[in-house]
Amino acid sequence: STESWDYAMVFVASKRAARNLALKLQREGISADAFHGDLKQPERIEVLKKFKHREIDILIATDIACRGIDINKLSYVVNYDLPRAAMDYIHRIGRTGRAGRSGTAISFIDHETQAHFKLIEKRAGITLEREQVAGFELTGEAAPKEKGKAPVKGKRKSKKDKLREQAEKDEKSDS
């Protein structure tokens, strides 16, 4: 049986991710909108009003929405990207299951985020149930990263290095 996902808040790490994911969902015919810090206050109010009145089914949000926003009967919170801090995680998942109602919080975890998720659990003093989706199981090791150009670093001498070299030259010329 397929559960109805008609009302959910999805948290992402960046404004760009919020915009992109909302657009992808809209292209698939899913009623979604982005909620992030680049929106002007009147735009934020309008998007939130539409979500609260269920004119939008899926709200893709950055952490701007994790505190102080009360949404009635929100069934699902999805952490598409994990937050940096444990308290942000607690505030995010606290958007669902309010006023004695039940709700479901789901976090997507891969090899790169697994250790961070464990740290969130430790800092929040919680242990969360894990469920692996068929075809997306975590194997013993992370996929190898593609090798690209290494970032250019250390090509120029720092001010300190230049001063040291000058001091060494001055010392040699004094002797």
Is 153's pLDDT higher than 80?
A: no
Please report, for the domain that includes residue 69, its CATH number: 3.40.50.300
The pLDDT of residue 99: 65
The Cβ-side half-sphere exposure at 158, using a 13 Å CA radius, reads 5
Contact 79, 106 (CB under 8 A): yes
DSSP state of 56: -
In a domain, 103, yes or no: yes
157, containing H or E segment: none
In a domain, 47, yes or no: yes
In a domain, 25, yes or no: yes
Residue, of 166 and 141, whose pLDDT is higher: 166
Nearest 5°: CA angle at 75, between 73 and 78? 135
For 106, phi then psi, to 5°, come to -125, 135
In a domain, 145, yes or no: no
In a domain, 175, yes or no: no
Cβ neighbors of 69 (< 8 A, separation 6 or more) are 48, 95
Is 135's pLDDT higher than 60?
A: yes
Instruction: Please tell me whether the overall predicted TM-score, pTM, comes out greater than 0.75 for this model.
Output: no
Predicted confidence band of residue 2 (pLDDT cuts 50, 70, 90): very low
Encode 58-67: b = buried (16+ Cβ within 10 Å), e = exposed.
bbbbbbbbbe
The pLDDT of residue 42: 95
Question: Which structural domain range is residue 13 located in?
Answer: 8-138
Total number of domains in the chain: 1
Residue, of 128 and 96, whose pLDDT is higher: 128
* Mean per-residue pLDDT over the chain, rounded: 82
Is 115's pLDDT higher than 70?
A: yes
In a domain, 81, yes or no: yes
Encode 156-174: b = buried (16+ Cβ within 10 Å), e = exposed.
eeeeeeeeeeeeeeeeeee
Predicted confidence band of residue 96 (pLDDT cuts 50, 70, 90): confident
The pLDDT of residue 1: 37
Q: What is the pLDDT of residues 27-84, one digit of tens each?
A: 999 999 999 989 999 999 999 999 999 999 999 999 876 676 778 788 898 999 998 8
